[in-house]
Amino acid sequence: MIRRRRNRELDDEIAAHLRMAGRDRVERGATQAEAESAARREFGNEALIKEMARGAWGGAWLDRLNQDLAFAIRVLAKSPAFTLIAVITLALGIGANTAIFSVLNGLLVRSLPFPRAYELVWVANSVGSGPSGTTSQSFTFRDFRRLNRSFSKMAAYNAFFPYVSYNLTGKGDPERLLGVGVTEGFFSLLGVQPAIGRFFLPEECVRGARSVVVLTYGFWKTKLAADPKIAGQMLIINGAPVEVIGVAPPSFDFVSVFTPGARVDLFTPHYIDRESDRHGNELAIIGRLKPGVTLAAAQTEMSALADRLSRERGYTIGAQLQLLEDRVTGPLRRPLLVLACAVGFVLLIACANLSNLLLARAAARKKEIALRLAVGASRLRLMRQMLTESLVLALLGGAVALPLAFWGTRTLANLRRTSIPMLGQVEFDIQAFLFTLVLSTGAGLLFGLIPAWQATRSDLSDAIKEGATGAGGAIHRDRARSALVISEVALSLMLLGAAGLMMKSFLRLLETDLGFRPDHLVMVRVDPGPQVQDKTQLTAFLDQVVESARQVPGVDGAALTDAVPLDRDRSWGTGVVGESYPPGQRPIAFVRAVGPGYFSVMRIPVLAGRTFDSHDRPGSETVVVINESMAKQLFHGQNPLGREVWAGGKCRVIGVVRDVKHSALDQEAGLEFYFPYSQGDVESADLVVRTTLEPAALASALRRKIWSFAPNQPLSEFRTVDQLVETASSPRRFTLVLLGIFAALAVVLASVGIYGVINYSVGQRTREIGIRMALGADAARLEWQVVKEALGLSLAGSMLGLAGLAILSRYIASLLFQVTPTDPAIFTEVTLLLIGVAAIAGYIPARQASRVNPVNALRVE
């Protein structure tokens, strides 16, 4: 307010001066007009003097900033197309970067959600592969815990928890819950505090103690409506009352750390005693290092301890230590870093585009700037004004990016059926946002500086004249702009190439022969719980379930298995009866208990012999079906049919089937055998149904039938096997989809860049083109000349990009599947694609140019 009054006063003061000077001249005999212009001439540059007088007031910088801001906004508003493109470009760059860096920060930089997470160590058995190979036996755990000197605490959980039955009744429909057995001290080792109630007491971790459970936060909230008085209440689990003693905090997400993509509802005590000593490998062991003990020192001690125990027991025990953090996030590191690089490229391209736009504008405004310099604007002031413009652009971009980044991060965090650890805990990261904002603002300032500097440095009279005689001459090709476009194309090609390689890998992955047909398969866990007393009853119950399923209209077949491929895994030692294997060389095979009809329902081809039928019952000869790999490795080309192998006990081989993928799409099958569930130790099983029905339709039909004879049978979670495949390929898809989005973004930005440059150079040559048109030039030839320019730029960029891609692809080689990092088809395809896009981006201005009306063109300016 005060400033405005002062400004007015200054205007008045100077007006008064001019009036008085003029009047003096009139008195001395000049005419009114002469006097006025003479007084004005004598006075000098009015605007400049006012500016200098204002400079004496102090606080001028604020004034100027205000002016610059207002000016910048006015200028930007005057060219909405430019502003829109620049802001969108920046917003996409900043938004994508923030989302990816939020994920990166959440997964890689930030540690696990436990106090002093760097002390937590994963102790794997490391004998053989698969979950059975990395888990340990009960007494190994007991010995480790008792004898080690490196750890302040050691605890474990049952890695095979999905096989254990927790059938909840009395709360709506019966439901099969997933509960993890944890040993005493598991929560205190991790440093987790209960949200409600308490965790297990030592006396509750002994067999025969009162049954107690701790609920996960998610289960308590969704299933029990977040009942605040839950502690002390009873739940009916497996037909018996169990006391709820506490609820784990929301920050403790067991699943996302230890078994991403799965679900857990509750925790129970896992007893370590003589009974559990008879189980196989089942415990996942976690230790907390004593302060000051390094991982290497602990590894040395534990290796020695494992060797000693191996000698004492006569079979191999391993202890492979790994920081829990590395175990959880290690496999993610490379894909995430690749994504970070990709998104960084996008930001680079966005910045290049922005500076390209600014350069073009600066060139277009050369005349304006020269004029302003000529009338006395200070160079510094002009540069500051142009910088303010870039700054305003960058901030606008940031403002638009903010909701974009927020939404992007949320979308990533809420991806379902994705086995990426801790993804659900990822939050919008304000630091990542500010970081990218500062980065892009810096880039904006830097790139704003170059044109500002260029523009203010140019020769005034030349610049003013140039506009007037634009046709005279030389086509002004801006090297800086071409270089920017070339690097944009190069970066885009690298991104596109990387995305192409990943895409091809992914397609190869989906094409891989799973060994079974996953489509049209619906599965549901069947768990008879305590209502069956012995194996005969169990078999009868399961047979009845399968029979009911087969009677549902629309069902093409149904069978049982205790472990659907890609869903669960366990492995046992095996071998040919009568052969001896050196210690540590005993073959290990994946194990599935299946029912009659399993192979035909899954469409697993039978290669030799027969599969199970109703004659394979408890008490009849124990039989197994083995897979191709096992037949090859154990029998070396001899006929395995009729031979005996170790499969729990001695079993006769009755059939050989094709391999199936058991745990991941990109891993080989390994040895595998099947036994009839009627002859094995099975508590619960998955009913697999081949049907054209939707899961929901099958669910209601099946529930009606099964609940008629087993009313407490939980049949809650109907899944499709296709979903399992989706989950199994999810980390790869996650990387691929994001990379694809970034590559598409890069191509769009690069083509905008090419369009901008060509359009600008065409605009510069409007007069030239007009003249040539007037002289009868061929439109097609003109178009071709313009397109050629675009092609030249994209070709140069592509060559650079191909070289970059060759380097980059070596880095992502480990992420590829059955695709070489220098796949010539991909390299060719992305190059052609980019050149094609460039041709189109160049053709649009070319067409406009060839439609120029010569008369109008010559009249320009």
Partner 1 sequence: MPRKERYQNRIELLQGTLDMLILKTLQWGPAHGYAISQAIRANSGDVLQVETGSLYPALHRLEKQGWLASEWKQSESNQRAKYYRLTPSGKKQLASERARWAQLVSAIAGIMRPEGGRP
Closest separation in Å from C-beta 373 to partner 1: 17
Q: Among residues 376 and 472, whose Cβ is nearest to partner 1?
A: 376
Dist CA 787 CA 833 (whole Å): 16
Q: Among residues 10 and 608, whose Cβ is nearest to partner 1?
A: 10
Q: Among residues 55 and 836, whose Cβ is nearest to partner 1?
A: 55
Closest separation in Å from C-beta 50 to partner 1: 8
Closest separation in Å from C-beta 61 to partner 1: 15
Q: Among residues 21 and 371, whose Cβ is nearest to partner 1?
A: 21
Q: Among residues 19 and 274, whose Cβ is nearest to partner 1?
A: 19
Closest separation in Å from C-beta 59 to partner 1: 10
Closest separation in Å from C-beta 434 to partner 1: 39
Q: Among residues 17 and 477, whose Cβ is nearest to partner 1?
A: 17
Q: Among residues 9 and 621, whose Cβ is nearest to partner 1?
A: 9
Dist CA 818 CA 667 (whole Å): 12
Closest separation in Å from C-beta 56 to partner 1: 4
Q: Among residues 14 and 195, whose Cβ is nearest to partner 1?
A: 14
Closest separation in Å from C-beta 44 to partner 1: 5
CB-based contacts of 499, cutoff 8 Å, min separation 6: 342, 736, 739, 740, 742, 743
| Residue found under tokens 């197994």 | 624
Q: Among residues 38 and 774, whose Cβ is nearest to partner 1?
A: 38
Q: Which two tokens stand for residue 704?
A: 């009606």
Judging by DSSP bridges, how do beta strands 283-289 and 555-561 pair with one another? unpaired
CB-based contacts of 655, cutoff 8 Å, min separation 6: 606, 608, 609, 610, 611, 625, 626, 641
Type of residue at 671: L
Closest separation in Å from C-beta 43 to partner 1: 5
Q: Percentages helix, strand, coil for the chain, rounded to the nearest 5?
A: 55, 15, 30
Residues belonging to the chain: 861
Q: Among residues 11 and 462, whose Cβ is nearest to partner 1?
A: 11
C-alpha separations of 384 from 17, 57, 255, 361 in Å: 32, 20, 54, 16
Q: Among residues 20 and 226, whose Cβ is nearest to partner 1?
A: 20
Type of residue at 687: L
Q: Among residues 23 and 384, whose Cβ is nearest to partner 1?
A: 23
CB-based contacts of 219, cutoff 8 Å, min separation 6: 177, 264, 265, 266
| Chain-centroid distance, C-alpha 749 | 22
Dist CA 857 CA 768 (whole Å): 8
| Chain-centroid distance, C-alpha 129 | 27
Closest separation in Å from C-beta 30 to partner 1: 16
Q: Among residues 48 and 577, whose Cβ is nearest to partner 1?
A: 48
818-824 contact pairs (CB < 8 A, 24+): 818/505, 818/508, 818/509, 819/501, 819/504, 819/505, 819/508, 821/501, 823/500, 823/501, 823/504
Number of Cβ atoms within 10 Å of the Cβ of 535: 17
HSE-CB for 183 with a 13 A CA cutoff: 23
C-alpha separations of 559 from 493, 545, 607, 687, 727 in Å: 50, 9, 20, 6, 23
DSSP readout, 444-481? HHHHHHHHHHHHHHS-HHHHHHHHHTGGGS-----HHH
Q: Among residues 5 and 78, whose Cβ is nearest to partner 1?
A: 5
Nearest CA to 346 among 190, 488, 182?
A: 488
| Residue found under tokens 């992502």 | 812
Query: Following CA atoms 576, 577, 583, 587 in sequence, which dihedral angle do they give, to the nearest 10 degrees?
Result: 30
Beta strand spans in 318-373 (E): 320-323
Closest separation in Å from C-beta 39 to partner 1: 10
Closest separation in Å from C-beta 37 to partner 1: 15
Closest separation in Å from C-beta 745 to partner 1: 52
CB-based contacts of 700, cutoff 8 Å, min separation 6: none
DSSP readout, 793-813? HHHHHHHHHHHHHHHHHHHTG
Closest separation in Å from C-beta 798 to partner 1: 57
Residues of the shown chain interacting with partner 1 in the complex, contacts defined by CB under 8 A = 9-10, 12-14, 16-17, 19-21, 23-24, 42-45, 48-50, 52-58
Q: Among residues 30 and 395, whose Cβ is nearest to partner 1?
A: 30
Closest separation in Å from C-beta 456 to partner 1: 22
Q: Among residues 13 and 173, whose Cβ is nearest to partner 1?
A: 13
Q: Which residues of 740-767 are buried (b: 16+ CB within 10 A; e: fewer)?
A: bbbbebbbbbbbbbbbbbbbbbbbbbbb
Q: Are 380 and 387 in contact (CB under 8 A)?
A: no
For residue 163, report the phi and psi dihedrals to the nearest 5 degrees. Answer: -85, -15
Q: Are 325 and 112 in contact (CB under 8 A)?
A: yes
Closest separation in Å from C-beta 496 to partner 1: 59
Q: Are 498 and 804 in contact (CB under 8 A)?
A: no
Closest separation in Å from C-beta 42 to partner 1: 8
Dist CA 499 CA 805 (whole Å): 11
Closest separation in Å from C-beta 16 to partner 1: 4
DSSP readout, 557-607? EEEEESS-TTT---EEE-EETT----TT---EEEEEEE-TTHHHHHTPPEE
Closest separation in Å from C-beta 19 to partner 1: 6
Judging by DSSP bridges, how do beta strands 644-647 and 649-657 pair with one another? antiparallel
Q: Among residues 21 and 699, whose Cβ is nearest to partner 1?
A: 21
Dist CA 38 CA 40 (whole Å): 5
Q: Among residues 50 and 367, whose Cβ is nearest to partner 1?
A: 50
